[in-house]
Structure 1
């Protein structure tokens, strides 16, 4: 049974700030040895998003890494969708606009998978769905990692936390495409009016007009499904149950970074601003539940299970829904179960408050 350390949001005050809580929790998951190059894996938010983990929290972690003798760098990876993080240059620009600069964090920000999102290391997985996965090279070649995850909802996995940060956030474009592969959509020809909006959304040129209707080239499509939001006629249809298969691959892919950094990853889950959508959204919707607090653990599956339990408790207390599953109709326990099967971690935990 893994220990998960919890500092409630309700305890925050002038003598016990989030910074104070991070300093306490870091001691519990400090994997840094003198001279280590330490990746601090974050999500800096898409341009227009405002509810990502705040730079001052990241700065606190960077300072703690330095105090432990490590050399910190802040990092994230490029994305599959058309936005302001598609390549390494735009990723660094967006991070800076959102407040993640050397001046604010006292550490450099690096695109972990390089300029074009193809700088990676292949890792054998041997899963039910995937044999190997490609981990971004700056993470693969680091000596240690502190993973700082903003917990929130997600339209494909139901929930984003430490496991999703491992099995998606630490991958290059090829790895992300492998996880998203079950999502390659079809077109409902009766609904499609051939407006072409979806064509502009896809950065892979996978959609074209054929006989006045949208057509998806599944050899080019990456399955990321950002095209769904471009169609007001509901003509883009993902495969049935694709989210379940995607979660299974996500759980398996989470093993990749662990194999490269065994016993050298510490996890912090930041459960504030519980928005329905991922920080990849270019806006921040209203939270679906109140703030919960900060958790830390050496076990990514346990910390996510504890986070889900605490979020569901908050939801029940407020009476707004039954559980986080109600946000998107997707049960996030699926990717935790697959991660557990792969040996990423165990869902059994004890909560230390």
Structure 2
């Protein structure tokens, strides 16, 4: 059983701000030693997203790392789909636009997987789905890490927290592709109008026109399904049951960065702005439940289980169903796979 430390949103006030809460939680979970080069892993949000974790809270962690004798850098990785985070230059500019700059945080923002998202270290994890995974090199080569995760819904995993931040956010493009591969879609020819909008949406050339119908090159497809979201006619059809398979891979992949850093990671979950969609969305939809608070732990699985339990408790209180109902996706599958592979424990003690 792992300790999970909790500061509730209800206790926030002039005498106990979120900055005060993080400052109190940090020593309980920090792995930072004198002289460590420390990755502060965040999600800076896509351009247009307004509910990602606030830069002032990242600065708080940066300052605490410095006080502990560490040398911090703030980091994230590139993505597979069209947007303003596809390469390092765009990611750094987007992060700065959202407030994550050296001037604001007191530490540089570094793209962990290199200019084109292919700079990584292979880590053997010996899972039932994945034998190995590719961890972004700046993360894998850090001495220790503090991971800040914004908890929210997610259309493929049901929930995005620490395990997803590890099993997706810490990987390069090749690693992300391995996790997403079960999502390679089909085309419904009866629904396809031949508008070809999806062709320009895919940056990998995996979609092409054959006569008046779009087709999928399964060898080139990365399975991220941004194309499906771009089709207003529902002609791009995800495989049946793909979310379960993707979540299994996601959970196993979470062990990669944990193993690469020898477990020297402290985790903080920020459970505010509970939006249905990920911070990867270029907008922020209304929240589906009230703010809950800040959790911290040395165990990535336990902190997510505790977060899911607290969210479900709040949703029950607010009479808005359970987390599963947000996307009709079971949000626990990837967390359970992370536990099975040895990334952490499903049992926790809330303190």
So what's the TM-score if we normalise by structure 2? 0.99
* Counterpart check, 1:264 vs 2:267: no
Question: How far is the alpha carbon of 1:176 from its aligned partner?
Answer: 0.1
Q: Distance in 1 between matches of 2:183 and 2:247?
A: 11
Q: Distance in 2 between matches of 1:204 and 1:190?
A: 25
Equivalence map 1:271-350=2 (5 Å)? 271-321=271-321, 323-350=322-349
Q: Distance in 2 between matches of 1:3 and 1:337?
A: 18
Residues 288-310 of structure 1 show CA distances to partners (whole Å, capped at 9, x for unaligned) of: 00100000000000000000000
Moved over 6 A (4+): none
Q: Distance in 2 between matches of 1:332 and 1:301?
A: 13
* Counterpart check, 1:47 vs 2:51: no
Q: Distance in 2 between matches of 1:90 and 1:191?
A: 34
**Secondary structure of 1:4 counterpart:** strand
The gaps in structure 1 that reach 5 residues or longer are none
Q: Which residue of 2 aligns with 1:187?
A: 187
Q: Which residue of 2 aligns with 1:122?
A: 122
Q: Which residue of 2 aligns with 1:153?
A: 153
Residues 223-245 of structure 1 show CA distances to partners (whole Å, capped at 9, x for unaligned) of: 00011111111111010000000
Question: How far is the alpha carbon of 1:56 from its aligned partner?
Answer: 0.1
Q: Which residue of 1 aligns with 2:63?
A: 63
Q: Distance in 2 between matches of 1:313 and 1:47?
A: 32
Q: Distance in 2 between matches of 1:230 and 1:168?
A: 22
**Secondary structure of 1:266 counterpart:** strand
Q: Distance in 1 between matches of 2:250 and 2:229?
A: 22
Q: Which residue of 2 aligns with 1:212?
A: 212
**Secondary structure of 1:250 counterpart:** helix
Question: How far is the alpha carbon of 1:262 from its aligned partner?
Answer: 1.7
Q: Distance in 2 between matches of 1:219 and 1:252?
A: 23
Q: Distance in 2 between matches of 1:213 and 1:289?
A: 41
Question: How far is the alpha carbon of 1:263 from its aligned partner?
Answer: 2.9
Equivalence map 1:14-93=2 (5 Å)? 14-93=14-93
Q: Which residue of 1 aligns with 2:109?
A: 109
Q: Which residue of 1 aligns with 2:239?
A: 239
The gaps in structure 2 that reach 5 residues or longer are none
Residues 88-108 of structure 1 show CA distances to partners (whole Å, capped at 9, x for unaligned) of: 000000000000011110000
